[in-house]
């Protein structure tokens, strides 16, 4: 493998592992804040125990997630130095705001929350976890706005061979970035909801701490259904934006080869990129792709054949990841509705349903990873869409240097991910004292 492929694998692997931690942090911080708010408003000690129990799981996930995220920013200098030289003025400013404003706010008030149980009034202590939840999601905003520039660059001019900032306002109001942010955080909230529902189901199956986990289940069920509905709505809007600004990605998501109006969508298809067609197409629904992409059944959808071969993203991987995301999203919506129906007496739900909630914990993780695969693989061959190719962004370093660091990343990150899963499983099964 050459330096480019090894650098791609390293960044993709590090991001994949890091994003195991991130979504649970974003969503669980809000759920813990809701639980503590209920304690402050009602005085019910069960809600205080809930905030501490789920807060402990949040802290485990947060601590290990921070470690895996730090190295990603260093890779922009070590592996993607030409990219950093080209867009550093723009990309760097967004990352700097994320670190100095959002992350420091989150870290500071997380410390207040951990050590302030017996030092602050209940209201002030509750305020600290709300600030943690706000800062965690605010942090995600700046990261995704930076990614939004890579997906749909705005607010820049090319000067002296570099992309220089011309309008900071355009960069931070980039519609692609904002919608991607909403799509990501609502998906993360749904993931946290399924996590609480699944863990609660595990305890309810064993008839232990029924009141505690019934209340946990009830709070998570409403939160999860709302989040899952929002994911679907925002996801549809994201599809509209992709159709407008990245038509090649949309064509790859649907393996759509011929430009046509009233474009159909196939329930099942097998891409054949070598022959620029689908080898199998089953269940074509007339005009559905046009309708989903442009909210107009007669709209024209550009096909992959209208793009030069060197400008097309990897079709099979983008298409497959999109199908996985949509399929799991549909399953999550069905399960969220069932959880909401069962929320008042989940302890009386059938064992099969409670086991389904338990085994559903990995589904949003897979769906979110697939969604990011669509976003990043579908953007190729560009690192900054339309103005810089990925092959031009890699650092001028030897392949063996990246190979060594990739091997080190693989070992350390697998250990961290395994430790996270082990600790979450251990403390999720513990008694909520």
What does DSSP assign to residue 309?
G
- Could you tell me what percent of the chain has a pLDDT over 90? 82
Q: Categorize the per-residue pLDDT at 71 as very low, low, confident or very high, splitting at 50, 70 and 90.
A: confident
- Domain span at residue 29 reads 3-259+302-428
The pLDDT score that the predictor gives to residue 432 is 84
Confidence label for 52 from pLDDT (cuts 50, 70 and 90): very high
Which of 32, 20, 92 has its CA nearest to residue 59? 32
pLDDT of residue 173 exceeding 80: yes
Tell me: pLDDT of 28 over 80: yes
Answer yes or no: is pLDDT of 433 > 80.
no
Q: What integer pLDDT is reported at residue 104 of this predicted model?
A: 86
The count of domains in the chain is 1
* Residue 308 pLDDT exceeds 90: yes
Task: Give the tens place of pLDDT for each residue, 249-293.
Answer: 999 999 999 999 999 999 999 999 999 999 999 999 999 999 999
Q: Find out whether 319 and 166 touch, Cβ atoms under 8 Å.
A: no
Residue 175 host element (H or E): helix 175-205
Question: Tell me, what DSSP letter sits at residue 31?
Answer: H
Confidence of residue 211 (pLDDT cuts 50, 70, 90): very high
- 80-102: per-residue pLDDT in tens? 999 999 998 888 889 888 888 88
Does a structural domain hold residue 177?
yes
Give, in order, the Cα–Cα distances in Å from 288 to each of 28, 318, 378: 36, 19, 21
CA distance 72 to 77: 10
Q: Is residue 276 part of a domain?
A: no
Are 17 and 68 spatial neighbours (Cβ–Cβ below 8 Å)?
yes
- Give the DSSP letter string of 119-156: TS-HHHHHHHHHHHHHHHHHHHHHHHHHHHHHHS--SE
DSSP classification of residue 258: S
Domain membership flag for residue 269 = no
Asked if residue 28 belongs to a domain, the reply is yes
For residue 151, being part of any structural domain is answered with yes
Q: Is residue 264 part of a domain?
A: no
Residue 96 CB neighbours (<10 A):
11
- Kindly state whether residue 228 falls inside one of the protein's structural domains: yes
CA-nearest of 324, 231, 176, 203 to 27 is 231
Task: Report strand pairing: 265-272 vs 260-261.
Answer: unpaired
Residue 37: inside a domain: yes
Report whether pLDDT(72) > 90.
no
Q: Is the peptide bond before 381 cis (omega within 30 degrees of 0)?
A: yes
**CB 337 within 8 Å of CB 328:** no
């Amino acid at each position: 493998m050459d330096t480019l492929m090894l650098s791609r694998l390293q960044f993709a692997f590090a991001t994949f592992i890091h994003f195991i931690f991130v979504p649970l942090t974003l969503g669980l911080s809000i759920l813990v804040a809701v639980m503590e708010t209920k304690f402050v408003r009602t005085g019910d000690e069960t809600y205080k125990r809930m905030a501490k129990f789920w807060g402990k799981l949040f802290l485990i996930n947060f601590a290990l997630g921070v470690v895996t995220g730090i190295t990603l920013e260093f890779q922009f200098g070590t592996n993607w130095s030409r990219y950093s030289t080209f867009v550093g003025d723009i990309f760097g400013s967004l990352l700097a705001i994320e670190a100095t404003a959002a992350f420091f706010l989150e870290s500071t008030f997380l410390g207040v929350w951990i050590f302030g149980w017996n030092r602050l009034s209940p209201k002030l202590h509750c305020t600290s976890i709300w600030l943690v939840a706000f800062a965690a999601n605010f942090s995600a905003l700046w990261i995704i706005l930076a990614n939004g520039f890579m997906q749909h660059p705005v607010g820049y001019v090319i000067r002296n061979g570099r992309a220089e900032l011309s309008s900071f306002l355009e960069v931070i109001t980039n519609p692609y970035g904002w919608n991607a942010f909403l799509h990501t955080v609502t998906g993360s909230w749904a993931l946290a909801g399924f996590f609480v529902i699944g863990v609660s189901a595990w305890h309810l199956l064993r008839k232990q701490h029924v009141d505690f986990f019934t209340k946990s289940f009830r709070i998570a069920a409403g939160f999860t259904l709302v989040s899952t509905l929002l994911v679907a709505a925002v996801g549809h809007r994201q599809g509209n934006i992709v159709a407008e600004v990245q038509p090649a990605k949309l064509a790859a998501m649907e393996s759509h080869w011929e430009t046509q109006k009233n474009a159909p969508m196939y329930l099942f298809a097998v891409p054949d990129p070598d022959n620029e067609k689908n080898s199998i197409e089953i269940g074509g629904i007339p005009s559905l792709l046009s309708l989903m992409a442009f909210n107009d059944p007669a709209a024209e959808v550009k096909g992959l054949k209208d793009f030069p071969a060197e400008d097309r993203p990897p079709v099979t991987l983008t298409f497959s990841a999109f199908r996985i995301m949509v399929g799991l999203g549909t399953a999550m919506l069905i399960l969220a509705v069932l959880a909401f129906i069962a929320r008042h007496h989940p302890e009386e739900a059938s064992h099969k349903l409670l086991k389904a909630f338990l085994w559903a914990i990995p589904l949003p993780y897979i769906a979110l990873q697939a969604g990011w695969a669509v976003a990043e693989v579908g953007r190729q061959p560009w690192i900054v869409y339309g103005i810089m190719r990925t092959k031009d962004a890699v650092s001028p370093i030897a392949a063996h240097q990246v190979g060594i660091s990739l091997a080190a990343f693989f070992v350390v990150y697998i250990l961290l991910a395994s430790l996270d899963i082990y600790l979450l499983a251990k403390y999720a099964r513990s008694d909520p004292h």
